[in-house]
């Protein structure tokens, strides 16, 4: 294990803010992970596990403990049943590169999750989803290290307790398990998923079913139009992705929000969330709370293309990012009575 001191973290994140890690280890195997955990434990230091840095807000003071950056690599493929194939993927593999490979080989199940930055190991934690798909639909098993016992453990899809943008790994067991690999089952030659309105609108009413590659291209095109694909020349992409989750409300709370919206002379877009719940677009709430695309608050701001993306306009501090986040939350609470929950992980606060 190579352990470095006072390593800047801002450049390892897509948002580009934050201070250094007191100690930093790039783990290329499971023993590196165990050694780093023991090092932190013996010195009573906090521990943080980092993947691709695409969903992080690091405090300006940095992190006063040990940061483990996961660099485990490897993809194995074997036949399952009924045309399905099992992919065993190490946690450090680049997510979009893996998705691109499955689409190119005509495996259905992940095509709508194209263009999402980060690593494979981060996807089960928040049950990453976009454009009508969630990773939980294809995950069959997650491998991890129990940071308490340092033993290797495995979780079936059911044991991961997936829900909207959530799993046991960011709820009841937050911080206990370090994911080392994920198994997916994908269908060879399967049809693409076309549930999401933006995708259906993109294709209109074609005479033939779009291919997986065409759907991936469409997703990338839509994401680029919103600056949700990392591009060095696009200031809007200096973000942590969607900053707020779409609220999912029970009927009574939903009716209360609708009444407040109607009283303002507005119409609230919403979608059935299952089991009597309703999903409200967070982007609509943000915009109608007074934060339009291109809004600026010092060096922090909102993307000119996507209302949900808080961006670093060049030299923003983490404090400025958080201040804008809190301003948006307070205004949405005041205007609509809705609490906007954040998607990124906050490190060192």
For residues 301-306, average pLDDT: 92
pLDDT at residue 197, as a whole number = 86
Report the pLDDT averaged over residues 138-146: 98
Tell me the pTM: 0.86
Helical ranges in the chain per DSSP H: 30-42, 95-104, 197-203, 212-225, 251-263, 282-288, 318-336
pLDDT-derived band at 186 (thresholds 50, 70, 90) equals very high
Cβ-based burial of 41 (10 A; exposed 0-12, middle 13-18, buried ≥19): middle
Q: Average model confidence (pLDDT) for the chain?
A: 93
Q: Is 109 left (phi over 0), alpha (psi -120 to 50) or beta?
A: left
Q: Cβ(48)–Cβ(65) under 8 Å?
A: yes
Q: What mean pLDDT do residues 62-73 have?
A: 97
- Maximum average pLDDT range among 45-59, 72-86, 189-203: 45-59
From the number of C-beta atoms within 10 Å of its C-beta (0-12, 13-18, 19+), residue 79 rates as: exposed
Report domain extents, the chain: 3-70, 75-225, 235-347
DSSP letter at 29 equals S
The answer to whether 8 touches 29, Cβ cutoff 8 Å, is: no
For range 2-11, the mean pLDDT:
96
Catalytic annotation, residues: 165, 242, 343
Mean pLDDT along residues 201-205: 85
With CA atoms as reference, report the closest residue to 199 among 190, 209, 189. Answer: 209
CA 50 to chain centre: 13
Judged against a pLDDT cut of 90, whether residue 276 lies above it is answered with: no
Distance (Å, rounded) from C-alpha 237 to C-alpha 37? Answer: 33
- pLDDT interval class at 236 (50, 70, 90): confident
Taking domain 3-70, whether its CATH number is 2.40.30.20 is answered by no
247, 332 contact by CB (below 8 A): no
CATH fold of the domain at 75-225: 3.30.465
Distance CA 161, CA 166 (A): 8
The string of pLDDT tens digits covering residues 89-141 is 999 999 999 999 999 999 999 999 999 989 999 999 999 999 999 999 999 99
Task: Check residue 170 and give its pLDDT.
Answer: 92
Q: pLDDT tens digits, residue range 252-264?
A: 999 999 999 999 9
**CB burial of residue 138 (10 Å; 0-12, 13-18, 19+):** buried
- What's the Rg (C-alpha) of the chain? 21
Distance in angstroms (rounded) separating the CA atoms of residues 52 and 318: 18
Amino acid 274: pLDDT: 78
Specify the pLDDT at position 168.
96
Provide DSSP, 218-253.
Answer: HHHHHHHHTT-S--TT-GGG-B-S--BPPPEEEHHH
Taking only the tens place, the pLDDT of each residue in 320-335 is 999 999 999 999 999 9
Q: What is the pLDDT of residue 275?
A: 83
Q: Give the model's confidence band at 271: pLDDT under 50 very low, under 70 low, under 90 confident, else very high.
A: confident
State the pLDDT at residue 56: 94
pLDDT above 80 for 234: no
Q: What is the pLDDT of residue 281?
A: 95
Domains 75-225 and 235-347 share a fold: no
Q: Which CATH number does the domain 235-347 belong to among 3.90.78.10, 1.10.10.10, 3.30.460.10, 3.40.50.2300?
A: 3.90.78.10
With bands split at pLDDT 50, 70 and 90, how would you rate the model's confidence at 35? very high
If we measure between CA atoms, which residue out of 122, 271, 99 comes closest to residue 193?
99
Burial class of residue 86, CB neighbours in 10 A (0-12, 13-18, 19+): middle
């Amino acid at each position: 294990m190579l352990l470095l001191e006072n390593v800047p973290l801002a450049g390892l994140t897509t948002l580009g803010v934050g201070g250094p890690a007191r100690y930093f280890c790039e783990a290329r195997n499971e023993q590196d992970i165990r050694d780093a955990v023991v090092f932190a434990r013996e010195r009573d230091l906090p521990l943080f596990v980092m993947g691709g840095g695409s969903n992080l807000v690091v405090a300006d003071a940095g992190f006063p403990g040990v940061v483990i950056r996961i660099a485990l690599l490897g993809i194995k493929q074997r036949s399952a049943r009924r045309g399905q194939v099992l992919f065993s993927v190490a946690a450090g593999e680049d997510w979009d590169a893996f998705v691109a490979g499955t689409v190119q080989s005509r495996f259905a199940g992940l095509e709508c999750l194209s263009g999402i930055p980060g690593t494979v190991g981060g996807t089960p934690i928040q049950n990453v989803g976009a454009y009508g798909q969630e990773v939980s639909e294809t995950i069959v098993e997650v491998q991890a290290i129990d940071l308490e016992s340092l033993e290797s453990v495995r979780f079936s899809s059911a044991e991961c307790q997936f829900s909207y943008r959530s799993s046991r790994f960011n709820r009841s067991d937050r911080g206990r398990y370090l994911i080392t690999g994920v198994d997916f089952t994908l269908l060879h030659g399967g049809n693409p998923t076309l549930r999401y309105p933006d995708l259906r609108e993109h294709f209109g009413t074609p005479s033939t079913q779009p291919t997986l590659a065409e759907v991936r291209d469409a997703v990338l095109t839509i994401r680029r139009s919103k600056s949700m694909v990392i591009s060095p020349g696009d200031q809007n992409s200096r973000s942590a992705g969607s900053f707020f989750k779409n609220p999912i409300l029970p009927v009574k709370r939903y009716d209360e929000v609708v009444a407040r919206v109607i009283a303002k002379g507005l119409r609230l877009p919403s979608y059935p969330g299952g089991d009597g719940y309703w999903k409200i677009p967070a982007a609509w709430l943000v915009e109608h709370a007074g934060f339009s695309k291109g809004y600026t608050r010092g060096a922090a701001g909102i993307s000119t293309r996507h209302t949900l993306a808080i961006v670093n306009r060049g030299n923003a501090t983490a404090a400025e990012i958080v201040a804008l986040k809190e301003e948006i939350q307070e205004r949405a609470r005041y205007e609509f009575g809705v609490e906007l929950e954040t998607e990124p992980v906050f490190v060192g606060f």
